[in-house]
Amino acid sequence: MSPDALMSVRQLSAAYGRQLACREISFELYPGEVICLVGESGSGKSTLLNTLAHRHRPASGEVIYRHARLGPVSLGALDEARLRELWRTDWGFVRQNPRDGLRMRISAGGNIGERLMALGERHYGRLRETAVEWLRLVEIDPQRIDDRPDTFSGGMQQRLQIARNLVTRPRLVFMDEPTSGLDVSVQARFLDLLRRLVAEMGLSVVLVTHDLGVARLLGHRILVMKEGQIVEQGLTDQVLDDPQHPYTQLLVTSVLAA
């Protein structure tokens, strides 16, 4: 692992049943860096994301993570409790469908407070104060704090997911197509917010998207996936302006402007 990398992925493969979904993936992620995984549906992007976070156990290979207390650890060697702790505190996971990432039956404030409570915060006033602060940060009217997310618009739900995940100030956030369910105008506002928070908090992000425009706007680096493998990777502007692999050339020439 490079001395300043946050995560090092080595020869990682994942399978569903006997079907190999991603093969021999290797890359490193640095603090404050946004990596975009691009490729068509079925290319293994989401599987890779879940496998990186060890929500899905790899078939082979490993992910080394620079743990805040333990230093570099192989995630495969961590027990469930330690992994769970990472999921709840040091990492965030933003889902494509807010229904998978939010608790729809508890209030917006409750959604934001949950991770803090898992860390042991019990003081009602402080929890509420933090929730109000985060609602403001993600541009949701704090008056809606007691409303359930199923009364929110799609854009608000996605912003609430961001607040719920970032409230513990994680170092690493996984995002699975967070904008694909949103209208274009709503998407723009969401991307602005994301861009600002990522820069301000110095977050490392692995973001799955099939939208090259999103990758151009947010990504420092791009990994292009096809049939479970990385066919090309590099700096975002290099991959988009001078794509090398036939598949990347096809992707780039297939959009109007990215």
Partner 1 sequence: MTDQPILEVQTLSKRFKLHTRDGIEIPVLEDIEFRLGAGECLVLDGPSGAGKSTLLRCLYGNYLVSGGRILLRRPSDGLVLDLCSISPHLLTDLRRTTLGYVSQFLRVIPRVSAREIVAEPLTAVGVPMAQALERADALLDRLNLSSRIRHLPPATFSGGEQQRVNIARGLIVPKPVLLLDEPTASLDARNRAVVIALIQEARLAGCAIVGIFHDREVRDAVATRSFDIQPMEREAA
Which residue, 78 or 188, has its beta carbon nearer to partner 1? Answer: 188
Query: If binding is defined by CB under 8 A, does position 133 make contact with partner 1?
Result: no
The binder of partner 1 chosen from 88, 128, 210, 220 (CB under 8 A): 220
Stretch that binds partner 1, among 62-70, 71-79, 159-167, 244-252 (CB under 8 A): 244-252
For residue 245, what are its two tokens? 């692999």
What are the two backbone dihedrals, phi and then psi, of residue 125, each rounded to the nearest 5 degrees? -60, -45
H helix or E strand, kind and range, residue 73: strand 71-74
* 173 HSE (CA, 13 A, CB side): 31
- Sole window of 56-64, 114-122, 146-154, 241-249 interacting with partner 1 (rule: CB under 8 A): 241-249
Residue nearer to partner 1 on the CB measure, 11 or 249: 249
Does the protein bind partner 1 through residue 70 (CB under 8 A)?
A: no
The three-point CA angle 203-152-124 to 5° equals 65
Task: Name beta bridge partners: 191.
Answer: none
Q: How far apart are CA 198 and CA 159, in angstroms?
A: 13
Question: Is 33 or 176 the residue whose CB approaches partner 1 more closely?
Answer: 33
- Number of residues near partner 1 (by CB under 8 A): 23
Binding residue for partner 1, selected from 25, 102, 140, 217, defined by CB under 8 A: 217
Does position 147 interact with partner 1 (CB under 8 A)? The reply is no
Among positions 44, 221, 224, 228, the unique one binding partner 1 when judged by CB under 8 A: 221
Residues 28 to 67: which contact partner 1 by CB under 8 A? Answer: 28, 30, 33
Q: What is the 3-state composition of the chain as percent helix, strand, coil, each rounded to the nearest 5?
A: 45, 25, 30
Exposure pattern of 6-43 as b/e (b: 16+ CB <10 Å)? bbbbbebbbbeeeebbbbebebbbeeebbbbbbbeeeb
129 lies in the site for partner 1, by CB under 8 A: no
- What is the smallest separation between the CB atom of 192 and partner 1, expressed in angstroms? 6
Q: Distance (Å, rounded) from C-alpha 206 to C-alpha 232?
A: 16
Residues that bind partner 1 (CB under 8 A): 2, 28, 30, 33, 188, 192, 199, 217, 220-221, 233-235, 237-238, 241-242, 244-246, 249-250, 253
